Amino acid sequence: MSAARGIWITLEGGDGSGKTTQAALLEAWLEAQGRDVLRTREPGGSEVGVLIRDIVLHHRGDIAPRAEALLYAADRAHHVATVVRPALERGVVVIQDRYLDSSVAYQGAGRVLDAEEVRGLSLWAAEGALPDLTVLLDLDPADARRRLDSADKPFDRLEAEREEFHQRVREAYLALAEAEPERFLVVDAAQDPTAIADVVRARVAALL
């Protein structure tokens, strides 16, 4: 690995777990240290991804589970190739909202597809790329739903799923973190956002 290579941090968790808030806090902290930072997301981190995001999250009507998984993988392939890898090669710290663990949790467990097949598809799409650190913001689905309700905005296709769906997603995330403890940092997302940010910064500081 080149010494000039950047650091890739992904944030995972159920809808309403606070990923956007933590990404913004981490970005501000890193920039205050003079780091070059790129914030991005999946789906939607590229021009092609914006189009795919509109389909998978806002299409009115059903999308077959395998088609949904393939759409996410298509976004991932283009995003990693055109956004993430070039930024890392420039030495940038990449902060990314969702990556392949989301597909394993949402399409694998949530849609009841084969989790290993979904993961394999994502790894193939991204040419095997894995983040240096994945922060999992763990939150009870009932608490997450209350947060989403208070936000007073329309739910997207996945946010609108039943609580059983979101419980399967949470359990899948925790299983992924248990299987790869060296990559994952699991944080209780019910805490105050500042307390969460402190835990995340301590782990990121070790990488820097």
User: Region 49-57: what's the mean pLDDT?
Assistant: 90
- pLDDT tens profile 80-91: 999 999 999 999
What pLDDT band is residue 3 in, cutting at 50, 70 and 90? very low
Q: What is d(CA 97, CA 79) in angstroms, rounded to the nearest whole number?
A: 12
pLDDT at residue number 38: 98
Q: Is the pLDDT of residue 100 over 60?
A: yes
Whether 76 has a pLDDT exceeding 80, the answer reads yes
Angle (deg, nearest 10), helices 141-150 and 163-179: 120
State the pLDDT at residue 145: 73
Compute the distance between CA of residue 52 and CA of residue 42 in angstroms, rounded to an integer.
Answer: 10
> 118-163, pLDDT tens digit by residue?
999 999 999 999 999 999 999 998 887 776 666 666 655 555 556 7
- 91's CB contacts (< 8 A; 6+ apart) are 4, 5, 6, 36
The mean per-residue pLDDT over the stretch 1-16 comes to 82
Residue at 7: amino acid letter: I
Query: What's residue 1's pLDDT?
Result: 33
The terminus-to-terminus CA distance of the chain in angstroms comes to 14
Count of CB atoms within 10 A of residue 51's CB?
12
Are the beta carbons of 16 and 145 closer than 8 angstroms? Answer: yes
Cα–Cα nearest to 10, from 175, 132, 92: 132
Residue scoring higher pLDDT (167 or 95): 95
Q: 93 exposed, middle or buried (CB, 10 Å; 0-12, 13-18, 19+)?
A: buried
Kindly state the average pLDDT of the residues 57-68.
85
- What is the percentage of the chain residues whose pLDDT exceeds 70? 90
DSSP 8-class letter at 152: T
Which fold would CATH assign to domain 8-207? Answer: Rossmann fold (3.40.50)
Distances (CA, A) of 117 to 81, 95, 100, 103, 181: 21, 26, 12, 10, 21
* Short-list 14, 3, 33, CA closest to 201: 33
Which position has the higher pLDDT, 56 or 40?
Answer: 40
